[in-house]
Structure 1
Amino acid sequence: MTELIDAFLRANLVASLAILAVMVLRIPARQRFGPELAYRLWAAPPFAAIGTLVPLRTGAPSLSPLAHLTPAELAPALLQAWGLGLVAAVGLMAWAQLAFLREARIGRAGPAVVGVVTPRLLMPPDDGRYTQAERVLIRAHEREHIARKDPRAGALMAAFQCLAWFNPLVHWAVHLARLDQELACDAAVIRRLPGSRALYAKTLLKTQLAGAALPLGCYWPSRSRHPLEVRVELLRRPVCDESLYGPLLIATGIVTAAVLAWSVEPPLPSSPPRGVMATEPYTTGHMSVMLVTWRVAPARH
């Protein structure tokens, strides 16, 4: 049980460091390479967390002393507290999902993509607020989310939030990642429809931002610096670098984060080689006896 909690805490510590790095790099990467590549930086924290769960080979050196983080006597209480928090986090996610769907049924939510396995478009009511051309752009944006598998990425973000409910950096990272997801989707639509920049910006300014969260789906969040400011501003700014340099640089950073995270995992315990004498203490009464065993490799025929 202690080893399980230690592994979970190591994954959170390493993921938190990766999140801080992405927070620093996301805006310079967006300005240099565009929103689509900048959004991919968010793959680094989960890859780093998973990297800490892959054990080093037997006897391999570890670059970090993060081997024992949890006192054995506290392990049961910590595991129980985490389990209770996980149940509460899942309950809050379900409540937020149902609240968003209630708002959608009365025409107060949308546009959005709802669902994970079979995502569906949620369009705003056809009450004359949008022209037909604007509604075409809204559909193009939401269909781009589905084509890019963004609902599945959002579900993974929600899962990480539930598992790491005690880590505020994870919650803030998910909010920023969802905003970057919207910016990347905007850029993809404009790349396919370059003559629609002005109409797209006008449509964004008309759009009602979601006041309630949507854990399983894609929506237009309204917290932090006003997202419409950022989105309209980016529509006016062309991508500065469209070469392979940006994708290679970001892919190298993600792989480096995973490898560094893998290096902080303690090595597997080594076992005595075959054919080598091993000693085992044996205690009986008030006497301690050292039992000597000889492990012989099986004969090869």
Structure 2
Amino acid sequence: MAELLAALIRANLAGSLAILLVLAVRPLARRHLASQTLYGLWIVPPLAAFGALLPPLTAAAEGERPFLAHLPQLLEGAGLAQPLTVVWFSGLTVTAAIFALMQLRFLRAARAGHAGPAVVGLLTPRIVMPADESRYGPAERRLVRAHERAHLARGDHRAVALAAALQCLAWFNPLVPFAIRMMRLDQELACDAAVLAQHPRQRRIYAEALLKTQLSPATPPIGCSWPAPAPHPLEMRVAQMAVAARPQSAGPLLVASLGVISLFAAWIAQPAAPPHDRPQWSSQRPVLVLIDINH
């Protein structure tokens, strides 16, 4: 239990630092990078958290080990390992239950025709449209569906499901839900940019479709819905359409490089592990014992 808690703490520290890094560069990146690249930067925090879970690269003597390396022993010695594990697992269960209720509420509203446009489902995703989609004109409907197909093509619904799972594991970290909210906004902006890249002359029609889209009663934890349940993101999405498309040729390389660097940085920063005890071989020669099975 103590080892599990120590690993959880290390992963959250590394992930939180990566979240703060992405949030710090996000305003500058929005002015100079394509929306797809900005959305891709959110792969950095989970990779950093994963790097903090890898086995340490170095070994150190017991007296030279840093504080985090002693954390399991400190938790066990203080008698905190078991109660903290119970608290963490209880919070995980409650968070997962809340997400399940939110998902069921959204699906119930979708069946009644009061939710959407959205993509829901993990293994068999589908596009959900509201019952009164006639409020959209023919061109608006095509653009709305193109937006949802862009989500499906890129697997955004799976990214949202992974984010929900990470939020359940790190329910106690206040940075995680805020980062996920920003990630989902950047996801929608990236989809907007993908649609407008295919239909560059229909920006006005697409903006009108955004403004006609009503807020759903809940955002599905596993799925992609738009716009986000707040006026500010909607205004940002409409304003973003007036920005000229930025080149993204170097975007995938930048995202991949930052992801690899974050993973290795968290891995290298792992607290040194104690040296493994090697068996002490005897200096005497081995003795061969022969057994006569006839007696």
TM-score by length of 1: 0.86
Q: 1: CA distance between counterparts of 2:115 and 2:285?
A: 70
Partner of 1:89: 95
Summarize deviations over 1:64-121 as a string: whole Å, max 9, x none: 6422335211000000111111111111001000111122222221100010111000
Counterpart pick for 1:197 among 203, 218, 242: 203
2:126 equivalent among 120, 124, 137: 120
Supply the distance in 2 between the matched residues of 1:240 and 1:124 (Cα, whole angstroms): 33
Return the letter of the residue paired with 1:294.
S
- Residues 251 and 297 from structure 1, CA distance in 2 versus in 1: closer, same or farther, beyond 3 angstroms? farther
Deviations 1:129-151 (A, max 9, x none): 11121111111100110000001
User: Structure 2 vs 1, CA of residues 110 and 54 (structure 1 numbering), >3 Å: closer, same or farther?
Assistant: same
Q: Which residue number in structure 2 is paired with residue 251 of structure 1?
A: 256
Please list, as runs of the form range in 1=range in 2, the aligned pairs for 1:203-214 lying within 5 A after superposition: 203-214=209-220
Superposed displacement of residue 295, structure 1? 7.4
2:127 aligns to what SS in structure 1?
Answer: strand
Asked whether 1:56 is paired with 2:56, we answer yes
**Contact 1:151/1:217, CA 8 A, preserved across alignment:** yes
1:1-16 matches, cutoff 5 A:
1-16=1-16
Q: 1:270 aligns with which of 271, 275, 282?
A: 275
- Aligned partner of 1:283 in structure 2 is none
Task: Say whether residues 1:261 and 2:266 are aligned partners.
Answer: yes
Equivalent of 1:141 in 143, 147, 156: 147
**2:37 aligned residue:** 37
Task: Label 1:295 to 1:83 Cα distance change in 2 as closer, same or farther (>3 A).
Answer: farther
Assess if the C-alpha contact under 8 Å between 1:55 and 1:266 holds in 2: no
Counterpart contact for 1:64–1:263, Cα < 8 Å = no
For residue 168 of structure 2, what is the aligned residue in structure 1?
162
Residues 37, 248 of structure 2: 8 Å contact kept:
no
Q: Please give the alpha-carbon distance, in whole angstroms, between the structure 2 residues aligned to 1:234 and 1:181.
A: 13
Q: In structure 2, what residue type is equivalent to 1:256?
A: I
Verify the 8 A CA contact 1:16 1:45 in the aligned structure 2: yes
Contact 1:110 1:219 in 2 (8 A): yes
Q: Which residue of 1 aligns with 2:289?
A: none
Partner of residue 243, structure 2: 237
Q: Which has the higher helix share?
A: 2
2:69–2:273 Cα contact (<8 Å) kept: no
Q: Residue type matched to 2:69 in 1?
A: A
Q: State the alpha-carbon separation in 1 of the partners of residues 70 and 198 from structure 2.
A: 52
Contact 2:210 2:227 in 1 (8 A): no
Deviation track 1:213-254 (CA, whole Å, cap 9, x = no partner) reads 21010012434562221111111101344442x433332222
Q: Secondary structure at the match of 1:218?
A: strand
Q: Residue 69 of structure 2: which of 58, 67, 70 is its match?
A: 67
Q: 1:135 to 1:150 in 2, by over 3 A?
A: same
Question: 8 Å contact 2:60–2:275 — kept in the other structure?
Answer: no
Question: Aligned pairs, how many?
Answer: 280
**Structure 2: gaps (5+ residues):** 287-295
Q: Name the stretch that deviates more: 208-217 or 154-163.
A: 208-217
Could you say if the C-alpha distance between residues 222 and 271 of structure 1 is closer, same or farther in structure 2, counting changes exceeding 3 Å? closer
Residue of 182, 187, 200 corresponding to 1:176? 182
**Displaced runs of 4 or more, over 4 A:** 60-65, 295-298
Does the alignment pair 1:222 with 2:198? no
Change (3 A) 1:297 1:41: farther
Runs of 5+ in structure 1 lacking a partner?
278-292
For 1:236 and 1:223, the matched residues in 2 are separated by 22
1:295–1:250 Cα change, 3 Å:
farther
Secondary structure of the corresponding residue to residue 110 of structure 1: coil
Contact 2:51 2:263 in 1 (8 A): yes
Matched, 1:132 2:138: yes
Change (3 A) 1:75 1:226: same
Which TM-score applies when normalising by structure 2? 0.87
Identical residues among aligned pairs (%)? 50
Q: Give the Cα–Cα distance (whole angstroms) in 2 for the partners of residues 155 and 143 of structure 1.
A: 17
- Equivalents in 1 of 2:248, 2:208: separation in Å? 26
8 Å Cα contact 2:69/2:272 also seen in 1: no
Secondary structure of 2:119 counterpart? strand
